[in-house]
Amino acid sequence: MSDKMHIKLKVNGEDREFLAEPRELLIYALREHLDLTGPHVGCDTSHCGACTVTIDGKSVKSCTMFVAQANGAEITTIEGIGQPDALHVLQESFREHHGLQCGFCTPGMITRATKLLEENPDPTEEDIRFGMAGNICRCTGYQNIVKSIQVAATEMNSAKEAAE
Amino acid sequence: MIPAAFEYHRPADMAGVIALLEEHGDDARVMAGGHSLIPMMKLRMAEIPHLIDLQDVAGLKGIAVAEGRVTLGAMVTQHELIQHQGLANTAPILREAALVIADPQVRYMGTVGGNVANGDPGNDMPGLMQCLDAEFTLVGPDGQRTVAARDFYEAAYMTEREDEEVLTAISFAAPSGGYAYEKQKRKIGDYATAAAAVILQKDGGTCAAASIAMTNLSDVPVWSDAAGEALTGTSVDAAAVSAAVQAVLDDIDPVEDNRGPVAFKRHVAGIILTRAIQRAWGRA
């Protein structure tokens, strides 16, 4: 009964178009239509944050948005944040400070952290823990994730100062 | 999880929304941020042949603080509530409550209108709106009407709103006095085991008026007139607080679930209310 819709998105700076049923969840649309497998399907119940992407400037759990809702939106996934040969400061910092073990939650963590630091470039430890509360990690115990974000924030701030 | 198929609509104005609701009746439902509805659709506990996305509807966004009154568009998100400086100054209890709702990602999408209209006993805003004596604006085929938050909730997911109406705005007089929103939850993102919204007016050392509402302790939010009465005219001493707690315990009707048995919930309700009263009195 429901026909496919013509979906247009701007993903990681590129215009993308495809046909999808409105009921498809954004996370599956990104992974299966656009081959962006960085955002992960974790809990599929909007708890874990592994599917976090940035949509029109908001951190969103893409398992809890229909692709139809996102039609026309601008989306950033982990693929648009860094590349294996050009890591984002946050990615470097997670690697350096052991902010991951298995790595499954990491794309969501990094994507959420980019937005957190954009809104609050100089967060306290409490700000980080509160701002990252929608992302679950079962390996690290969070200590090193917090540290990775703190160090990245400091580095990003000094780079900004140096540029001014 | 894959929900049942649906027809997707994204009208640009209220007239378009109402026309769709009239055309499809029970088969249509409006969606704000979708963070209550989509999980229900994924579990197939809600099947909605015609889904009406409100994101493009003009006039549902915006926070207005003017002439002693606060008006919130239904599509205002929890994130926007937290960020809004004027609101934080005028009605800080809203920010205090929004900060303990869900998690950052959910708060970017979750709306105040969806939170109050859904009728889920676990939602925090309905009890808070009863505490504030807010009014909800409903728009339908026959025009617009307002319903007091204290008269809106009939049973779990059952409200005064008719199927062809949309809750478009929430408005309340800017509160004065001391306030507190206190919530006990098992983890980030959980609904309350018990939550209390309290606003107290202080005149000298005496409580001049009190408004108390409880969340997730009945199939509807519980605004307890008797609890407010128990504090009014007292110095909010231990005996008065204990009387208010007793009044609330008489008004709530919690059920056993994975947050605990009835006796535990009643115990937590008393503790949360006591803390809320103490914090509100300290700020009064």
Contacts of A79 (CB under 8 A, 6+ apart): A12, A36, A38
Check CB contact of A47 with chain B, cutoff 8 Å: yes
Q: Are residues B100 and B120 in the same domain?
A: yes
**Kind of pairing, strands B166-173 and B69-73?**
antiparallel
* B155 backbone dihedrals φ, ψ, rounded to 5°: -165, 180
Q: Please tell me the distance in Å from A161's CA to the nearest CA on chain B.
A: 26
Q: Has residue A161 got a pLDDT over 60?
A: yes
Task: State the CATH number of the domain containing residue B235.
Answer: 3.30.390.50
**Kind of pairing, strands A74-76 and A58-61?**
unpaired
Contact across the interface for A65 and B38, Cβ inside 8 Å: yes
pTM, whole model, 2 decimals? 0.96
Check CB contact of A53 with chain B, cutoff 8 Å: no
Rounded CA-CA distance B99/B104 in Å is 9
Last residue of a domain, one of A58, A80, A102: A80
Domain count, chain B: 3
CA dist B1 → A80, A90, A137, B38, B137 (Å):
26, 31, 22, 11, 34
Q: What is the mean pLDDT of residues B231-236?
A: 98
Structure tokens at B17: 């929304």
Q: Are residues B129 and B210 in the same domain?
A: no
Q: Please tell me the distance in Å from B84's CA to the nearest CA on chain A.
A: 14
Last residue of a domain, one of A38, A60, A80: A80
Check CB contact of A61 with chain B, cutoff 8 Å: yes
Structure tokens at A126: 């409490």
Q: Are residues B183 and B168 in the same domain?
A: no
Contact across the interface for A60 and B105, Cβ inside 8 Å: yes
Q: What is the pLDDT of residues A20-63, one digit of tens each?
A: 999 999 999 999 999 999 999 999 999 999 999 999 999 999 99
Q: Are residues B161 and B182 in the same domain?
A: no
Structure tokens at B178: 């001391």
Q: Has residue B247 got a pLDDT over 70?
A: yes
Interface test with B, best of A27, A69, A136, A137 (most B CBs within 10 A): A69
Structure tokens at A118: 């954009």
Range of the domain at B34: 7-52
pLDDT of residue A3: 87
Q: Has residue B151 got a pLDDT over 80?
A: yes
Contact across the interface for B5 and A1, Cβ inside 8 Å: yes
Rounded CA-CA distance B221/A85 in Å is 54
Q: What is the mean pLDDT of residues A126-136?
A: 98
Quickly state the pLDDT bin for A164 (edges 50, 70, 90). Answer: confident
Nearest chain B alpha carbon to A42: B1
Mean pLDDT rounded to a whole number for chain B: 97
pLDDT of residue B96: 98
Q: Has residue B23 got a pLDDT over 70?
A: yes
- DSSP assignment letter at B191: P
Domain count, chain A: 2
Rounded CA-CA distance B284/B278 in Å is 10
* B119 backbone dihedrals φ, ψ, rounded to 5°: 80, 15
Contact across the interface for A133 and B1, Cβ inside 8 Å: no
Q: Please tell me the distance in Å from B206's CA to the nearest CA on chain A.
A: 37
Q: Are residues A76 and A96 in the same domain?
A: no
Quickly state the pLDDT bin for A2 (edges 50, 70, 90). Answer: low
Last residue of a domain, one of A80, A99, A115: A80
Range of the domain at A41: 5-80
Cross-chain CB nearest to A23 (options B2, B10, B109): B2
Q: What is the pLDDT of residues B50-66, one digit of tens each?
A: 999 999 999 999 999 99
Nearest chain B alpha carbon to A69: B53
Residues in chain A closer than 8 A to B2 (CB atoms): 23, 25
Cross-chain CB nearest to B6 (options A23, A47, A60): A23
Cross-chain CB nearest to A2 (options B7, B38, B42): B7
Quickly state the pLDDT bin for B1 (edges 50, 70, 90). Answer: confident
Q: Has residue A1 got a pLDDT over 80?
A: no
Residues in chain B closer than 8 A to A22 (CB atoms): 5-8, 51
Q: What is the pLDDT of residues B71-98, one digit of tens each?
A: 999 999 999 999 999 999 999 999 999 9
CA dist B226 → B65, B86, B249, B279, B281 (Å):
31, 32, 10, 20, 18
Complex prediction ipTM: 0.96
Structure tokens at B138: 């409903």
Nearest chain A alpha carbon to B109: A60
Q: What is the mean pLDDT of residues B102-126?
A: 98
What interhelical angle do B238-251 and B262-283 show, nearest 10?
140
